[in-house]
Amino acid sequence: MLEQLNEFLSDQIHDHWLKVLMGLGLMLVGWFLGKYRARGEWRRREFFHRLNVSLNILQPGQPLRIRTLIEKPCSEIFLNSAASEAVLAAARRTTATNPLLPLPKDEYWFYLNAVVNEVAEKFAVGELRRDLGLPVTMAKYLICLTCENVGELRTRKIRAMVIKKSTLQSLPKEVPTFENPWHKTRWETLQILSAEYAKNPHQFIELELAV
């Protein structure tokens, strides 16, 4: 019995050794390419595989403040791999004059809605308080998908910008102060977004939040 087993295994190895070697070779090539790509992204400070949900706060007499609400791999937000790849490809096509992701108009809502679901989950307590008749503060926000690629950026990421609707529709004419010098790029981005919202509202989605 043991001899038959050894003979069977020997035959299998003899018949399939080339396939095994090719499989191992492909695994090594994939590992090497992954490491090479990761090093390149780190040198360029590009992290397109992650989506940062960024709250932009502009209040009179205060500096422009930028706060992260969520940061996750794109694959955890856009649950379909094809959608994640489309977002990544669109991020690479943004320009210095328009950071909004150039996604198909008839599909844009689906990408934005995936982000809305993530943000809404963070504020679920506020919705429950409102449903129970408890006091809450509410405001309407706009969300859009961007990838800034100009100015003094520390890192390049796909960012879902979140800002009060009333704020984006009436940005102050004077340049605000900044918590950090590289936030000047965000101010320029907000000016572009304000103009684009008036022209292409399909690239934005509205969400009312309660806290």
User: 185 Cβ partners below 8 Å, 6+ apart?
Assistant: 148, 150, 151, 152, 153
Owner of token pair 């684009």: 196
Same domain membership, residue 158 and residue 62? yes
Sign of the Cα pseudo-torsion (79, 196, 57, 149, in order) = positive
Which 3 state secondary structure label does DSSP give 157? Answer: strand
- Rounded Cα–Cα distance for residues 195 and 168 (Å): 9
End-to-end CA distance of the chain: 72
Same domain membership, residue 158 and residue 63? yes
Same domain membership, residue 123 and residue 163? yes
Q: Say yes or no to pLDDT of 34 above 80.
A: no
Same domain membership, residue 26 and residue 108? no
Count CB-CB contacts under 10 A for residue 178.
Answer: 16
Q: Say yes or no to pLDDT of 32 above 60.
A: no
Same domain membership, residue 191 and residue 96? yes
Nearest to 207 by CA among 171, 170, 168, 157: 168
Q: Is the pTM of this model over 0.85?
A: no
Minimum mean pLDDT range among 24-28, 86-90, 195-199: 24-28
Residue 12 CB-half CA count within 13 A: 7
- Rounded Cα–Cα distance for residues 211 and 56 (Å): 17
Same domain membership, residue 205 and residue 157? yes
Same domain membership, residue 186 and residue 121? yes
Q: Say yes or no to pLDDT of 33 above 60.
A: no
pLDDT of residue 79: 85
10 Å CB burial of residue 121 (0-12, 13-18, 19+) is: exposed
Quote the domain boundaries for residue 24. 1-44
Same domain membership, residue 187 and residue 146? yes
Asked if 56 and 190 count as a contact pair (C-beta separation under 8 A), the reply is yes
Same domain membership, residue 26 and residue 57? no
Element at 15 (helix H, strand E): helix 2-44
Mean pLDDT within 182-191: 94
Same domain membership, residue 88 and residue 6? no
Same domain membership, residue 53 and residue 33? no
Number of domains making up the chain: 2
